Structure 1
């Protein structure tokens, strides 16, 4: 059965802004998508976790999330940005990147491309023009990646710990609903559960279990909010052995039962 996150959307652009404590799950819980995302932060600062590695972000940051890569970000009251859903294209890297644009000229150039895409996505716009502007944005990003100072590249991604957590994150994105424990994932990675948890804490401040549970919880929230699928069927899809166990687990995480969450649209949930 196809997961909600497996739906492949076209090019789209949405505002990224603070939605209050009750909606933290919408940004902070680990999630992944079948198509890439491009996040442009224009105001404020916070932290973002991509493929198990946490970094700070600030204004004029551009963050790329490849398809099927788990991520979550803090969005505080001062944060404003945009998140672009990219179509299934091959012109973008297969690995995450985080650009910090420090000069005014590239900042303005980037903003111009995004504003042009936004205009063409409005009613009366032209999808072909949006695609052309996206092509120009792709070239801009390639040039920025080529020109960046090697010293600015986060070497933690290429460390043994970074590589291990990235592999774990990839397995979570693929198998989070397969009723696999952290021990099962650790066995697949040829490490002990203790070592895997230690490394996850080191790279992102979360345990291996928390990373896995957040991904499952986000999917549960989306299915409850966006579908009418019965709770027992959602529990089964996400690898829970009973609807009662799913309900207890969900309530511990969100402060609401699945039925209450569905009725309120997640407005009263916590993460």
Structure 2
């Protein structure tokens, strides 16, 4: 579990850059406001909000100022039967809000107390938390995350990008390639992405690849050339120029910067390390 305020103050790129998690994540927003771009759609965030994001779904947050809340990474092995698409809950009933707050507080208490049975207690509260969220979601009658054909198309494009990143099958990827796989024109794909997320398909693709490059530079010791090649850049020199233009620093500078202290390990079975 991580504090959103700590992440924002010491490593805001972990929220503001396009990024995806390898496990499901639950965000709880208790103060502040903004919006999230996720799975082909842009949604507003006002407290109290609870946002569930499945694994390998790229997201980007835009906050208008300081925010308070938590980020909880879930272990599917300990918390099964999680939703397969994003869910956003806002304006909850007071009782639902108290229940969710209680389980989040208990998870944090057990996680930090280091007492006997803490792992099982965390897993139990994480399961109860997700059950409470599921019940609240059903009671709210909230619609599917992607309601329209345009949102579904944009989400499919983003899912293909994540699939290629995860599988390491990138080789000079272009919007035209993805449009062909989706059976549409590149112009139409760009128009849909712009309308749904405020960002064209090409800009989205480059932002996602370069933010993933920064994550690997910060969190692994892979050579820059290897990272560039894995993400489909055929020239390390071109990758370095593209990274500098987008990120405002060289890959080496990004790697050598002080590690963000806002990325703690949880040390529990129901949660995953950041």
Q: TM-score, normalised by structure 1?
A: 0.87
Residue 21 of structure 1 and its aligned partner are, at CA, apart by: 8.5
| 1:208 equivalent among 201, 210, 215 | 201
Q: Given the alignment of the two structures, is residue 144 of structure 1 paired with residue 132 of structure 2, yes or no? A: no
- 1:73 pairs with 2:61: yes
Deviations 1:95-154 (A, max 9, x none): 111000343222121111100011111141400001111121122012101210x3x53x
1:33 matched to 2:21? The reply is yes
**Alignment partner, residue 174 of structure 1:** 163
SS where residue 158 of structure 1 aligns? coil
Alignment length (residue pairs): 252
Whole-angstrom CA distance in 2 between matches of 1:22 and 1:240:
29
Q: Show CA shifts across 1:146-196 (max 9, x none).
A: 210x3x53x672211011011111101111450321100000000101100
Residue 20 to residue 97, structure 1, CA distance change in 2 (3 Å): closer
Inter-partner Cα distance in structure 2 for 1:34 and 1:224: 17
Measure the CA separation in 2 of the matches of 1:266 and 1:204: 30
- Normalising by the residue count of structure 2, what TM-score does the alignment of the two structures yield? 0.86
Change over 3 Å in CA distance of 1:66–1:19 after alignment to 2 = closer
1:134 paired residue number:
126
Superposed displacement of residue 248, structure 1: 0.2
- 1:56 is matched with 44
Q: Map 1:155-194 to 2 at 5 A.
A: 157-176=146-165, 178-179=170-171, 180-194=173-187
Kept after mapping to 2: 8 A contact 1:30/1:71: yes
The reply on whether 1:112 has 2:102 as its aligned counterpart is yes
Unaligned runs of 5+ in 2: 261-274
Aligned-pair distance for 1:207? 0.7
Q: How far did 1:20 drift?
A: 6.2
